[in-house]
């Protein structure tokens, strides 16, 4: 037994790699059969079951890398998280709507490979390359998640992810669902990331948001998550993963198929998802109107105004 353990350690030592950021993390790319073959060559023949026991004894497990290392931080991160928690409690306690918005990964439409396995009666075959030129189009899934009602609303666009697209989707949500669910509400709280179509630094988003507030006669309170913290946006862990699971392995031949699959998303906690398709073409590269910054009715908070502000509707 001591000889077997020594040979095992020698085999692993010759085929092991390490994590330069964590010296205590080691891994090997050898399979159990390859380790057994090398132990046989070293004079200690054993089967893969014994190898599995040795791996376990020396602390080796089959693991997958996890996305947990932040690529950066911000000095005001904790202050903004405390602010978001305060706003969330205030709105939920008052029965007011809170939505979390973001755009999910864009997908090509056509016979393209997608991760996941399905129960099928025959082999599924797809193109061996994902060339956009072979696609019949693309789908841009923009999501809205209602924290209070545990309900998701997805808009499948076929154009581009712009601030106008985002604001149009919020308007559709409010007119079709929000105002009936919250008939007394005069303000909605919206959580979103700092980048993308709702970029905290872009005044075109603020201008489109102001127009949206005017059209709906609704105050829109915005709180952005700090840079490098988008995974904490509620939609990222309370809606999108479940939508991904509902669509795993399925081939997105048409946008109607995408809608049917995403609308089937459910969880044991009662998540519901409503899905619409919007085929409007959205213009990219738009600039905010001259004089907007001087006349806008965007009210910035005293605390962290770059991430916290409210669009106030025009008075009739």
pLDDT tens digits, one per residue of 123-180: 999 999 999 999 999 999 999 999 999 999 999 999 999 999 999 999 999 999 999 9
Inside any domain, residue 102: yes
CA-CA-CA-CA dihedral for 274, 280, 281, 284, to nearest 10:
-60
107-114 mean pLDDT: 97
β pairing state of 98-103 and 151-157: unpaired
Same domain, 171 and 229: yes
**Residue 316 within any structural domain of the chain:** no
Residue 310's H or E segment, with its range, is: strand 308-311
Tokens standing for residue 143: 């999501």
Between 18 and 298, whose confidence is greater? 298
Range of the domain at 139: 77-311
- Yes or no: say if 28 and 16 are a contact pair by the CB < 8 Å rule: yes
Total domains present in the chain: 2
Do 26 and 93 lie in one domain? The reply is: no
Which of 120-124, 137-141, 305-309 has the least mean pLDDT? 120-124
Residues 210 and 272 in one domain: yes
Is 71 within the bounds of a domain? no
Mean pLDDT across the stretch 271-275?
98
Tell whether 62 is covered by a domain: no
Do 240 and 192 belong together in one domain? yes
d(CA 36, CA 299): 68
Helix axes 2-14, 32-41, angle to 10 degrees: 120
Helix, strand, or coil here: 1?
coil
Cβ(171)–Cβ(215) below 8 Å = yes
Average pLDDT over residues 177-187: 97
Nearest to 143 by CA among 172, 103, 105: 103
Return phi, psi of residue 302, to 5°. Answer: -70, -35
Question: Poorest-confidence range of 16-30, 82-96, 99-113, 173-187?
Answer: 16-30
Q: What is the C-alpha to C-alpha distance for residues 291 and 298, in angstroms, rounded to an integer?
A: 13
Instruction: Judge whether 85 lies within some domain.
Output: yes
The model carries a pTM of 0.83
Mean pLDDT on 88-102: 98
Regarding whether 31 and 178 lie in a shared domain, the answer is no
Q: Are 97 and 104 in contact (CB under 8 A)?
A: no
Residues 173 and 292 both lie in one domain: yes
Q: For residue 180, what are the contacts with CB-CB under 8 A and spacing of at least 6?
A: none
Tokens of 286: 């738009």
pLDDT, tens digit, 9 for 90 and up, residues 195-213: 999 999 999 999 999 999 9
β-strand pairing of 98-103 with 187-192:
parallel
Residue 121's Cβ-side half-sphere holds a number of Cα atoms within 13 Å equal to 0
Q: Are residues 35 and 88 in the same domain?
A: no
Domain-located, residue 124: yes
Say if residue 49 is in the same domain as residue 97. no
Tokens encoding 259: 């809608």
Structure tokens at 35: 């380790």
Q: Which residue has the tokens 């809170």?
A: 98
190, 161, 187: which is closest to 283 by C-alpha?
A: 161
Q: Does residue 13 sit in the same domain as residue 96?
A: no
Segment holding 274, helix H or strand E? strand 272-278
Token look-up 């489109």 returns 208
Give residue-wise pLDDT tens across range 16-74.
Answer: 655 554 455 567 778 889 899 989 898 899 999 999 998 888 888 887 766 666 656 78
Based on the domain organization, do 133 and 188 belong to the same domain? yes
Domain match, 275 and 189 both: yes
Of the listed ranges 109-123, 188-202, 207-221, the one predicted with least confidence:
109-123
Residues 30 and 110 placed together within one structural domain of the fold: no
pLDDT above 90 covers a percentage of the chain that reads: 78
What beta strand segments (E) does 55-97 contain? none
3-state helix, strand, coil in the chain (%, to 5): 35, 20, 45
Model confidence at 97: pLDDT above 50: yes
Model pLDDT, residue 23:
53
Residue 229 placed within a domain? yes
Q: What CATH code is carried by the domain that includes residue 285?
A: 3.30.420
64, part of any domain: no
What confidence score (pLDDT) does residue 21 get?
45
Supply the mean pLDDT for the chain: 92
Rounded CA separation 1/178 (Å): 69
């Amino acid at each position: 037994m001591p000889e077997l353990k020594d040979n095992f350690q020698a085999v692993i030592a010759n085929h092991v790699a390490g994590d330069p950021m964590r010296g205590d993390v080691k891994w090997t790319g050898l399979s159990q059969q390859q380790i057994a073959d090398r132990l046989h060559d070293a004079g200690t023949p054993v089967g893969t079951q014994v190898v599995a026991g040795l791996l376990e004894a020396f602390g080796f497990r089959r693991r997958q890398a996890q996305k947990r290392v932040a690529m950066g931080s911000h000095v005001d991160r904790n202050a903004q998280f405390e602010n978001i928690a305060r706003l969330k409690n205030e709105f939920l306690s008052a029965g007011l709507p809170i939505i979390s918005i973001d755009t999910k990964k864009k997908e090509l439409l056509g016979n393209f490979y997608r991760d996941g396995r399905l129960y099928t009666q025959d082999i599924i075959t797809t193109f061996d390359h994902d060339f956009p030129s072979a696609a019949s189009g693309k789908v841009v899934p923009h999501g809205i998640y209602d924290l209070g009602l545990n309900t998701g609303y997805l808009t499948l666009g076929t154009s581009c992810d712009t601030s106008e697209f985002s604001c149009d989707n919020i308007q559709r949500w409010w007119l079709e669902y929000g105002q009936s669910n919250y008939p007394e509400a005069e303000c909605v709280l919206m959580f979103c990331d700092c980048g993308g179509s709702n970029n905290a630094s872009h005044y075109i988003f603020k201008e489109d948001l102001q127009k949206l507030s005017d059209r709906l006669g609704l105050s829109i309170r915005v709180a952005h998550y700090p840079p490098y913290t988008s995974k904490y946006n509620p939609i990222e862990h309370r809606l999108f993963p479940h939508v991904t699971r509902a669509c795993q392995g399925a081939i997105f031949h048409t946008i109607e198929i995408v809608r049917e699959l995403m609308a089937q998303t459910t969880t044991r906690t009662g998540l519901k998802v409503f899905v619409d398709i919007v085929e409007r073409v959205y213009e990219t590269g738009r600039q905010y109107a001259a004089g907007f910054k001087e006349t806008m009715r965007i009210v910035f908070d005293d605390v962290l105004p770059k991430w916290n502000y409210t669009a106030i509707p025009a008075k009739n």
